[in-house]
């Protein structure tokens, strides 16, 4: 997820400090050792990226689609004076089960301030109409009396956005629905494909990144409840545009309002983003992808004007109508980079758990780093962008390691908000250090992309949610000398941007 642009809109931004000194009458100080080391560091970075682009590995995860009949959901979108969702869920009961407990998700991958989704649920009842009380742990106990499948019905009302995404929002012209905000699923999830059918007001259409069921216009098939939860849908008066990269379809779905950037320009720009990241990262690890452009969309208080939320085959991009093309593409580049970065974590996550990880700095910092690289390759940012990014990250507070910041970021208070901001800024710098060091020590033959490839080979390594799995992948790709570098980046309580020069030159 992401909540601000990758780079500032104007290169002149970095001149503000010198102007302030000139008007204040202060005498500019001589360059410090730190600033000189940063200059050397940038030279090292430039040298690293002067090598030919390393061969991009294939990191597409294996498909585990199963034809076992899992849960099916029928959702009816109701507008008017009392907007809501009417949901009917039909779920298989596990064999030999003594109890059948269901519940809402406690979080979703990519949103570290997930709300209490169950607070928006009303009137959970059986197919026969019996009301089901919610238990103290937030679950519902469904009577099944020997049945192999049970059906429940419930209502979901609109809710406020969480930090990075809308949950359920229904307007007179459109609706956006985030998976965890409407799905009640078994606590013990058995294997099985899931299916979603959406009913909408007359004249509306439905868009979701999941494949349509054969012959259907608003029924979608998912490999599992997890995939369904990770696949939001939008419906209403929508504007769409399509393009293909390597034969794979991509769709832009614009809704809410009109933007300063027209749909044709946005389509060309997003296609270039996908092409650039494919060249950097390798095979596109999805069958199709959707960009849900919420123009004028809401963001949580304090988040700024833009917000993004990644999914395995789609992303919601919220930005103001006045947003520039570069701002939009920077936001999209960050969210798209997540498909190579953290789907191992996503595959392992059950919707009912909140997996805190010391590697949050890597999960979010790496897409930040690749977003900058994408803009540079598109000619929308120069190498001086790296200097600005380095200075920005270098100003982040010190004294706490990235692994510790990653855990503090889960706190639901101002300290957690501050830690999460630093996870992005310093995580990006950490990713840059690792990438630059790997490139230099392998003569440009390998990069951080190869670390992502190693992480996604689940037969040999653990996913990015595992602290030791990440370190092991870095060492496997860059050699044993990368072990101490990783420890310095992730576990040291105090390091600054000049460390790029030190670790890259040693």
Is the pLDDT at 355 greater than 70, yes or no?
no
H helix or E strand, kind and range, residue 403: helix 402-408
Confidence of residue 110 (pLDDT cuts 50, 70, 90): confident
d(CA 149, CA 390): 56
Is the pLDDT at 249 greater than 80, yes or no?
yes
In the DSSP assignment, the letter for residue 354 is: -
How much of the chain is helix, strand and coil, in % rounded to 5? 35, 20, 45
Q: What pLDDT does residue 44 have?
A: 56
Q: What is the mean pLDDT of residues 176-189?
A: 91
The SS3 assignment for 342 reads coil
pLDDT, mean over the chain: 82
More confident residue, 164 or 183: 183
Q: Taking the domain 69-236, which CATH number applies?
A: 2.60.40.3650
Q: Hey, how many other C-beta atoms are within 10 angstroms of the C-beta on 483?
A: 14
In this prediction the pTM is 0.86
Q: What is the mean pLDDT of residues 151-161?
A: 95
> pLDDT tens, 382-411?
777 666 766 666 665 567 899 999 988 888
Is the pLDDT at 26 greater than 90, yes or no?
no
The number of angstroms, rounded, from the C-alpha of 377 to the middle of its chain's C-alpha atoms is 22
> pLDDT tens, 404-441?
999 888 887 888 888 888 888 889 889 988 998 999 89
Is the pLDDT at 101 greater than 60, yes or no?
yes
Q: Are 362 and 430 in contact (CB under 8 A)?
A: yes
- Of the chain, the percentage scoring pLDDT greater than 90 comes to 51
Is the pLDDT at 34 greater than 60, yes or no?
no
Q: What pLDDT does residue 57 have?
A: 63
Confidence of residue 54 (pLDDT cuts 50, 70, 90): low
Confidence of residue 303 (pLDDT cuts 50, 70, 90): low
Q: Are 411 and 419 in contact (CB under 8 A)?
A: yes
């Amino acid at each position: 997820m992401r909540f601000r642009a990758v780079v500032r809109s104007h290169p002149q931004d970095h001149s503000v400090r010198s102007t302030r000194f000139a008007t204040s009458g202060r005498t500019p100080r001589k360059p410090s050792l730190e600033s000189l080391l940063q200059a050397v560091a940038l030279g090292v970075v430039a040298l690293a990226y002067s090598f030919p682009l390393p061969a991009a590995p294939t990191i597409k995860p294996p498909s585990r689609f199963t034809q076992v009949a899992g849960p099916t959901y029928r959702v009816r979108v109701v507008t008017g004076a009392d907007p809501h969702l009417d949901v009917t869920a039909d779920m298989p009961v596990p064999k030999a089960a003594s109890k059948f407990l269901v519940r809402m998700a406690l979080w979703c991958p990519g949103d570290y301030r997930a709300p209490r989704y169950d607070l928006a649920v009303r009137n959970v009842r059986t197919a026969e109409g019996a009301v089901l009380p919610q238990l103290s742990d937030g679950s519902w106990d469904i009577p099944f009396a020997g049945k192999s499948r049970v059906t429940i019905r419930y209502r979901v009302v609109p809710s406020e956005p969480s930090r990075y995404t809308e949950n359920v929002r229904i307007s007179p012209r459109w609706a956006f629905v985030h998976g965890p905000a409407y799905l009640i699923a078994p606590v013990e999830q058995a294997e099985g494909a899931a299916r979603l059918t959406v009913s909408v007001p007359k004249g509306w259409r439905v868009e979701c990144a999941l494949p349509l069921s054969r012959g259907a216009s608003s029924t979608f098939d998912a490999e599992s409840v997890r995939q369904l939860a990770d696949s939001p849908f939008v419906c209403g008066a929508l504007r769409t545009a399509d393009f293909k990269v390597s034969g794979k379809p991509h769709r832009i779905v614009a809704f809410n309002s009109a933007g300063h950037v027209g749909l044709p320009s946005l389509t060309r720009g997003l296609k270039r983003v996908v092409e650039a990241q494919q060249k950097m990262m390798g095979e596109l690890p999805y069958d199709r992808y959707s960009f849900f452009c919420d123009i004028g969309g809401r963001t949580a208080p304090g988040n700024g004007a833009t917000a993004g939320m990644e999914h395995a085959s789609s992303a919601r991009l919220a930005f103001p109508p006045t947003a520039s093309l570069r701002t939009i593409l920077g936001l999209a580049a960050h969210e798209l980079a997540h498909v190579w970065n953290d789907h191992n974590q996503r595959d392992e996550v059950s919707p009912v758990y909140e997996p805190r990880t010391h590697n949050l700095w890597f999960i979010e910092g790496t897409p930040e780093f690749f977003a900058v690289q994408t803009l540079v390759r598109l000619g929308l940012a120069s190498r001086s962008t790296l200097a600005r990014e380095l200075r920005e990250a270098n100003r982040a507070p010190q004294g706490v390691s990235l692994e510790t910041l990653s855990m503090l970021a889960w706190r639901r208070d101002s300290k957690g908000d501050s830690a999460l901001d630093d996870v992005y800024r310093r995580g990006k710098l950490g990713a840059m250090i690792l990438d630059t060091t790997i490139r230099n020590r392998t003569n440009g033959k390998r990069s951080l992309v190869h670390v992502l490839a190693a992480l996604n080979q689940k037969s040999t390594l653990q996913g990015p949610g595992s602290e030791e799995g990440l370190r092991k992948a870095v060492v496997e790709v860059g050699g044993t000398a990368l072990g101490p570098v990783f420890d310095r980046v992730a576990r040291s309580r105090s390091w600054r941007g000049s460390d790029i020069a030190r670790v890259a030159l040693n």
